[in-house]
Chain A
Amino acid sequence: MGSTSSTLLKIPNVEVLMQETGFSPAHIIRLHDRFKALDKEGRGHLCPQDFGAIKELAMNPIGDRIIGAFFSPGKETVDFHTFVKILILAHFRPVDKNRPKEPNSPEPINSRSNKLKFAFQLYDQDQDGKISRDELLKVLQAMLGMQVTEEQLESIADRTIQEADLDRDDAISFEEFRKSLEKVNIDHKMSIRFLR
């Protein structure tokens, strides 16, 4: 694998990356190795097919959407920087509770509301800031078994919107989404530990 410093140097802008994301050099290196493993043709960036090669993602009902989340609209590839940033954006680091709260510093990438925003974007495919009934229906279709009939799906979707929708516009905005998930322990649910 080579010595740490030489590998680190190969990765462009690694200091900025480390600072923004809070990953240690060892983590960055591991992620870089993984990036290279996925990038089979050695192009330096990933395309959706590379993600598709991951077998377990096929087992995931919203796997395709998550793959989509890595690619910002219009772009077909993702480079290492974006790869790492999205991983953080997907907030797979536990929130550091001890970080001093400075009012002027930008909110840490892996804060609770950013995690929720990531999840929200998974539902909101057309990026209009609201989860409409149709989008919810699509998510439900993806995540529910095939035993569920269309009417039942619609009833669930209606019910879900009814529970969360406070301003009665028949869609769930991000604020409503966030409010309805107050009780859920996001930190627990959306964190992966990496080896220190």
Chain B
Amino acid sequence: MASSLYLCLLRAVFLVCFVNPLIQGLSGDANVVQNPHHELEENLTGLPIVTFKWHHVQTPYLVIIWVFVAGLAKLSVIELNHHVTSVIPESGLLIILGFILGGIVWGADKAQTFKLLPPTFFYYLLPQIILDASYFMPNKLFFSNLGAILIYAIFGTCWNAATVGLSLWGCYEAGAMGNLDIGLLQFLLFGSLIAAVDPVAVIAVFEEVHVNEVLFILVFGESLLNDGVTVVLYNVFDAFVALGGPKIDAAEIFKGIFSFVVVAFGGSFLGVVFAILLSLLTRCTKHIQIIEAGFVFVVGYLAYLTAEMLSLSAILSITFCGICCQKYVNANMDEKSVTTVRHAMKVLANGSETMIFVFLGVTAIDTEIWIWNTGFILLTLLFVFIYRIIGVFLLTWMLNKFRLVPIEVIDQVVMSYGGLRGAVAYGLAAMLDEDKIPEKNLMISTTLIVVYFTVILQGLTMKPLVQWLKVKRAAHSDLKLIEKLNNRAFDHILAAVEDICGRIGDNWWTRGWNRFEENYISWLLMKPKARRNRDYLFSIFHKLNLEDAVNYVSEGERQGSLGFIRSDEAANVDFKKQFGSEFTDVMPDIMVDMSNYELEIENFSATSIVKDTIPSVSLDIHGQDRKNAVDDINAHHLLQQHLYRSRKNHRHKYSRSHFSINQSEDEVQEIFQRTMRSRLESFKSAKMGVNPAKKITKHHKKELTHKMANGHPDGTGHLYGDEVDSAVGSETGAIRGTFMRDTYTVGAGIENPVFLPDMDSPTHSSLPWLMETEAVAPSQRAQRRLPWTPNRLRRLAPMRISTCSTDSFLMADLEEHEEQPQTDHEEM
């Protein structure tokens, strides 16, 4: 609280003191030179040691100052009082901040020197946002809903443009707007620029709301793809306005429709071409890995500019470039480059978004552009809102006849409410030609008001609306354990049945396309090494070996650290709470050791047991609650982390600032290995005529041996159990298991899972520690101290889910993981 206030004050002070005189004295005008040193220069009598060369650095300096100010703005907005930020969306706050800044500049200058100019917006601020959106686009979800998205984008936008334009014209003719120098075509032009849902605003608002993924992808996909329509409509009507009314005949209208096809498909095709170029480039950059990350941005931007040059849809171009190149670029580039690209994109996109919203606010403070026409503005707001609702409901009604899972009414409501207009509309309005359209300022004013209305007001009320309507949210970890388990089981069932059916149905095309893609496109665009790694059998073997080796080294370095204790903290605590008072003397060093580690809530109780011998009666009560809470958290974490993902399970987080890397390849290997093993077992037993029931227990035991820490709770012929028993005298198997783990420091015997009987199939085990027991006899040393085996290590490696620097616990708590878009693995 104090820090946010402090930051606000700091920022205000900074702005007032620094920016103001800077702008006052130095903005725009290069002629305003008030520096004595310059006068000195004119009659140079001596050597000036330091000179103030403002006009040399003016332009870049101002740019950088504004970027800096925008960054500070974002910082202060985030640091504001939590109540404020949870109510008003970030984008709204940034706009308000822009008002303030604009006011300062206005006050200093009496003119708005820092407007959001359309070229700046379209060429420098917008491309990276779209590239970021498309690079992280969940392709499967996008393409499976592509039909709906296209319907909304094309027909929805046309509907919006036509109805808004015509209604406004109708009202104008009816006299609701007073006297304006405007005609039908200009109304239609205005309608077309105000019709488009804006991707920037949609991301900004929906990011904070977390609706379910289908709803999000529909709105977001629509906002991206409708640019094709918007550009066409805008250009067509612009040209019509220039031509004048009488010259428009059927030929021109046909040309208009044809231009839509050319612009939209041309733009997309261009994007795909650049995606291919980018993939080929990354295929060849093995030796200059340091700059291959840069290629992504450069080529993406080139796609954008080239489309703009050819008057095709630039947004579509960069969108498809991002969507198509994702997979190959991620496969071809070095891991570090991939990470670099991801992070850099997020930074750029975030920064641009901030600047756009700040400038949207700044631009408003300008008396030149404001023309107030109550009728026009209010009617526009009304029509935009109403026709959006009507359009969405109409189109969804038609779509639901064809969709597998119909879009619900509540989702439709959110979709219509989420039709946000943003900076794109403003940019288009600012680009209008004043000579042809005398009412340009009125249009700009109206557009700004519509933008503020949608971003601030609708953004403000979006979250409460979503909560009130009980929209299906993106799944949060409120799911009970059994639900989680079942969800995953269903995914697997579905995938299996699809496989059994041979994917007939609408997946047939997907399958055909995937096959084509695997054989030809990947051959062309992916590095041979990357392609080879898609081959399961090879990659399983290779990666398992690699992983084992890495874990071996890292655990060896971390031996005796937190890592191995964390995996059984629940059981440890349980044990301590129940027997702590009795066993403090038996395991003094362990208690001490435990208190050194930060076990969060467990630590508290552990040390308290040591310090004061709480009578076991009251301990039990606390112990039960704590146990449940801890168990619950652990169980949820475990399930969340470790449940195998099916091919169809895509969790995506649509966020400007968070992303994570999916580690599903390991799972696939494990599943495959395990299934193969069990099948071999069943074949073996079938051959030997063994009762199938035994197979299950064998399987069970086999899994047991793999998973075992040092504990073997059921004690199936366990060698060292007796020693432990005698050492402690505790009865329950679970306790015994964990106690054994603790007592290894005390010197009791422990079993060595390395050399436990392992019925691995010969084909998969080339590693000695996976062989049968008879191969290697346990050594004396092995009986004492536990060597770190790959199996154990893999288990003991703590929740290392992502390679991001962010806290692994944070990652573990996040429900959604963005899947690395290597769908080729899953497609196989």
Q: Which residues of A are in contact with B by a Cβ distance under 8 Å?
A: 27, 30-31, 34, 37-38, 51-52, 54-64, 66, 70, 87, 90, 92, 94, 118-119, 122-123, 125, 138-156, 158-160, 163-164, 172, 177, 180-181, 183-195
Contact = CB atoms under 8 A, between A and B. Distances in A.
Interface string B492-535: 11111111111011111000000000000000000000000000
Interface in B654-671: 666-668, 670-671
B493 A66 contact: yes
Contact of B795 (A90, A146, A155): A146
14 contacts: A31-B501, A34-B502, A56-B828, A64-B678, A122-B493, A143-B492, A145-B643, A148-B707, A150-B713, A151-B737, A159-B635, A181-B483, A183-B483, A192-B501
A34 B507 CA distance: 14
Given A55-B828, A70-B500, A92-B497, 14 more contacts: A38-B500, A59-B672, A61-B644, A63-B675, A87-B497, A90-B493, A125-B696, A140-B485, A145-B644, A151-B713, A154-B713, A159-B481, A159-B631, A160-B635
Q: Classify the interface of chain B: helix, strand, loop or mixed.
A: helix
A146 B706 contact: yes
Interface stretch (B185-193, B343-351, B563-571, B754-762): B563-571
B642 interface: yes
A51 B304 CA distance: 49
A150 B708 contact: yes
A138 B480 contact: no
Interface string B470-486: 00100000011111011
Contacts of B822: none
A58 B486 contact: no
Nearest to B793: A147
B795 A149 contact: yes
Contact of B500 (A57, A58, A147, A163): A57
A54 B499 contact: yes
Contacts of A193: 404, 505-506
Given A140-B485, A141-B703, A59 B675 contact: yes
Interface of B: 404-405, 472, 479-483, 485-502, 504-508, 567-568, 570-571, 631-632, 634-635, 638-639, 641-644, 646-647, 666-668, 670-672, 674-676, 678-679, 696, 700, 703-704, 706-709, 711-713, 734, 737-738, 791, 794-795, 797, 828
Given A58-B676, A94-B404, A154-B734, A146 B670 contact: yes
Closest A-B pairs by Cβ, 6 of them:
A194-B505, A193-B404, A34-B502, A145-B642, A56-B499, A189-B490
Nearest to A187: B405
B504 A34 contact: yes
A60 to B, nearest CB: 5
B709 A189 contact: no
A156 B638 contact: yes
A158 B737 CA distance: 17
A53 to B, nearest CB: 11
A159 B794 CA distance: 24
Q: Classify the interface of chain A: helix, strand, loop or mixed.
A: helix
Contacts of A188: 405
Contacts of B481: 156, 159-160, 163
Nearest to A189: B490
B506 A150 contact: no
A151 B566 CA distance: 13
A160 B643 CA distance: 14
Contact of B489 (A92, A122, A148): A122
Contacts of A148: 638, 642, 707, 795
A141 B499 contact: no
A24 B487 CA distance: 29
Nearest to B632: A159
Given A145-B667, A190-B493, A60 B646 contact: yes
Contacts of A189: 487, 490-491, 494
Contact of B700 (A52, A125, A138): A138
Nearest to B486: A181
A186 B483 CA distance: 11
Contact of B738 (A57, A66, A151, A156): A151
A134 to B, nearest CB: 9
A118 B686 CA distance: 27
A62 B493 contact: yes
Contacts of A63: 492, 496, 675
B504 A31 contact: yes
A55 B828 CA distance: 8
A143 B640 CA distance: 12
B672 to A, nearest CB: 5
B794 A147 contact: yes
A195 B500 contact: no
Nearest to B737: A151
Contacts of B670: 145-146
B405 A155 contact: no
A147 B493 contact: no
A57 B496 contact: yes
Contact of A62 (B496, B667, B668): B496
Given A30-B504, A61-B644, A156-B635, A191 B404 contact: yes
| Residue of A55, A62, A141, A146 contacting most chain B CB atoms (<10 Å) | A146
Contacts of B675: 58-61, 63-64
Contacts of A149: 567-568, 707-709, 711, 795
B91 to A, nearest CB: 31
